[in-house]
Amino acid sequence: MLAIVIGLASALTYGVADFFGGLAAKRTASVVVTAFAALVGLVVLLPATLLMPGRPSFDAFLWGGLSGITGAAAIFLLYAALAIGPMSILSPLTAVLSALVPMTWGLVGGERLPWWGYVALGGVLVAIVLVGFVPEKGAVRPRLRGVVYATLSGLLIGCFFIFVDQAPADSGLYPIVANRIVAGSILFVVLGVLLVIARRRGVPPFPGLRGAWGLIVACGIADAAANVLILTGLRMGDLTVMSVLAALYPGGTIALAALVLRERIAPVQWVGLVLALASAAVLAIPA
């Protein structure tokens, strides 16, 4: 039961991070937001890692670092896909694939659930599509490039969950620290390249950054918290269940958008949220 709650909490927190990151990306470049959010997360995680019990090891940094590589690549591809659109199709596609990859890996690896657990997993997958669906007036069929970007992003997010799950159980928060270091390094290299290009063209490199700092800090803290939650949940429960629950992250974003920005939640999204909670309750039924 506790693992299910942590899985839902991680999805909610990932959604909160996406909400603040999305607002910040409206003021400055998304890669700037992602890079500095990773840095903020690392600053938050370092003291927590030293205070919590955990053993640093090669495996902890290896799997954490690999999750950082896949995470950074997934973010690039996700933003590129959403920029091409339509979001109403590509966003749910990414979320579903991010759940299917680790779910399949876990089942092939020997994880087993009672029959009602498989029914609940199917319910969560349907809920992911409904929650992530953003009705768009006059939405057009997605372009092939957008579908490819969204597919690759979903696959890489799924790999992120698998890599985090491989980290040693006694490694504390060191895998997440490695994740932030690697992802941040990649993103800051990209920022350096963009800065050089901007200077050569004589244009401001990162306009709007000053006004986005508060949102970036909030995004970084929420993302770090979500990573800690998913790591904790994976150590308590199955990869199959935790990855599917975490893929409900669009629910946190739309809930916060409704509360803060007064955005309307579409009826289909309400159905998805109710189905998600009902399916999570079924997953919590002991075998």
Q: Where are the domains of the chain?
A: 2-283
Does pLDDT of 13 surpass 80? yes
Does pLDDT of 286 surpass 80? no
pLDDT tens digits along 159-203: 999 999 999 999 999 999 999 999 999 999 988 998 888 888 877
pLDDT at site 205 = 76
Does pLDDT of 206 surpass 90? no
Q: Are 242 and 14 in contact (CB under 8 A)?
A: no
pLDDT at site 41 = 93
Q: How far is CA 107 from the centre of its chain?
A: 22
pLDDT tens digits along 30-86: 888 888 999 999 999 999 999 888 999 999 999 999 999 998 888 888 877 877 767
pTM of the prediction? 0.88
Q: How far is CA 110 from the centre of its chain?
A: 25
What mean pLDDT value characterizes the chain? 87
Element (H, E) at 99: helix 87-108
